[in-house]
A and B are shown apart, each in its own frame.
Chain A
Amino acid sequence: MRPGAPQRIGCKVMRKLTPDKLEAGMVLAKPILRGSAVFLGEGSVLSEGVISRLQSMEINYVYVEGLAEQPIPLDEALASLDARFGNSGDSEPMARIKRIVHEYIVDLYE
């Protein structure tokens, strides 16, 4: 896989974070490599110590399991989606785009 290619493997939910956003207790969703060697394996739980080491390494981002906390409640998010689409959600391809974004937003709250 090329660097930076989209990373949503199967239905595993993960977030891509810059090292400064890491918090203790987060679980790695993908291994961290140094050269060709695994530095930290998938499933590792991050501790404060590990995080500060990661922050001192030249890493752009890491993948952790789980979803980000959402800033607004689900019904509000869906109401604003409806407002954004107005009547344009009735025709193709807009109906399809709206349905996919709707499903995506609902998944974020599960």
Chain B
Amino acid sequence: MSEPININTMRRKVESINALPTVPSTLKHISSMLENPQLSIEELGRFISNDPALTSKILKMVNSAAYGFPNRISSISHAIMLLGLNVVRGLLLGVSVFELMQKNIAGLWEHSMGCAVVSRWIAQKHEFKEPEEVSICGLLHDIGKVILILHFPAEYEQAQEKARSEGIALHEAEKVFFDATHADVGSWLAQKWRFPINLVEALEYHHRPQLSQQATLETAIVHVSDVLVRARGIGIDCEARVPDADPDAWKLLRLSDDDVKDILAELEETAFLETEID
């Protein structure tokens, strides 16, 4: 068997996403826009509003149960005002990246939406001022999987097959073929796209929440959300088993039995989202 793909090669390739022929032009556009440190609210609003398909997908998301606003948000500028620039940047990535994924990694979109819902719920319980930002961490936590499959389709296919046949976690199977996992890839991109440190860490450490330094709570939330969503059976097809929850992260969140049942009830809603997004 050949050597795993070197981490520097991976990072270089992943960061040159704009040059990859298999990446749709809209996503390349979005990627270079997000790299711009001077991106203004007006510019982002104009970009989305000029694309009717993107506009309608984002409005469907913000009006879905995952974001839970009781009254309809009818324009992108209204959404940015309510949710803030970073949340809308995250949503924009979420809808444009995961659309690519419906075909390649079965179940990933539903799983990501489920994590967005659960992360938001727990963030509300912990009285985050902006629970939607934590929701974006949940939504994007597996974005590295999408990028890996775009850049290294053959190797990623093998990793998925290994996870499926051996009943191991996908990030464990990834290590056989790559020197880094989808969690690393997600955090490289989050940095490239100038997301805040809490998102970078939540993506990087969602399997190992104990390593997070600057976003302990957000990372624990995303980690536990991942476990709960899979415990309910909303996972990706090649990973049958629920990953173990880190005992410290679990304790930190102080979820009661009733809290968990409320979360599961909230999750029933995501079943509707599969049909709503496309």
Q: Which residues of A contact B (CB under 8 A)?
A: 2-6, 8, 15-16, 18, 21, 58-61, 68, 80-81, 83-86, 88, 91-94, 96-98, 100-101, 103-104, 107
Contact = CB atoms under 8 A, between A and B. Distances in A.
B70 A88 contact: no
Contacts of B23: none
Given A15-B268, A93-B250, A60 B230 contact: no
Given A2-B124, A8-B265, A60-B69, A98 B231 contact: yes
A26 to B, nearest CB: 16
B242 A60 contact: no
A8 B242 contact: no
Interface in B180-216: none
A103 B256 CA distance: 14
A76 B98 CA distance: 30
B245 to A, nearest CB: 5
Nearest to A92: B247
Interface of B: 63-65, 67-72, 74, 120-121, 124, 167, 227-228, 230-233, 235, 240-245, 247, 250-251, 257-258, 260-266, 268-269, 272
Contacts of A18: 272
Given A80-B233, A100-B260, A4 B67 contact: yes
Which 6 pairs across A and B sit closest by C-beta, in order of nearness? A4-B68, A6-B262, A93-B250, A58-B72, A100-B260, A3-B70
Which of A4, A91, A92, A107 has the most chain B CB atoms inside 10 A of its CB? A4
A103 B232 CA distance: 12
Contact of B241 (A5, A15, A86): A86
A84 B107 CA distance: 15
Given A18-B272, A59-B72, A61-B65, A84 B230 contact: yes
B126 to A, nearest CB: 13
